[in-house]
């Protein structure tokens, strides 16, 4: 029997749904909504680019094709994080 070594989990973050208003992320057992009104970087992105997401640490998300870095806490509480995008909301 061949043994396959276990590596890092590839399901640390997953996009579960995309709507005209935003998308949902599954982070472990927590699901968060990312509204385009608060995060305009994603508004015109393809679903493929939104779904290519990395989680370098438990509190950090990165979309390499969009060059977007977000703190998980900024999704939980966007009002506590001023928008720094030059994209119009």
Whether 4 has a pLDDT exceeding 90, the answer reads no
Total Cβ atoms within 10 A of residue 23 = 21
Entry pTM: 0.77
Whether 3 has a pLDDT exceeding 90, the answer reads no
| pLDDT 10s digits, 11-56 | 489 999 999 999 999 999 999 999 999 999 999 999 999 999 999 9
Question: Would the CA dihedral through 14, 20, 22, 28 be positive or negative?
Answer: negative
Domains of the chain by start residue, with CATH: 14-80 (3.30.2020)
pLDDT interval class at 84 (50, 70, 90): low
Task: Give CA separation, 64 vs 45, 51, 56, 79, 88, in Å.
Answer: 12, 10, 11, 25, 21
What integer is the mean pLDDT of 67-77? 94
**pLDDT at res. 74:** 93
């Amino acid at each position: 029997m061949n043994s396959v070594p276990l590596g890092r989990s590839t399901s640390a973050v997953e996009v579960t749904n995309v709507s005209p208003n935003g998308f949902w992320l599954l982070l472990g057992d927590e699901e968060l909504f990312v509204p385009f009104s608060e995060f305009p970087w994603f508004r015109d992105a393809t679903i493929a680019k939104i779904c290519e997401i990395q989680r370098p640490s438990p509190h950090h998300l990165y979309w390499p094709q969009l060059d977007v870095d977000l703190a998980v806490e900024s999704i939980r509480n966007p009002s506590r994080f001023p928008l720094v995008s030059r994209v119009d909301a």
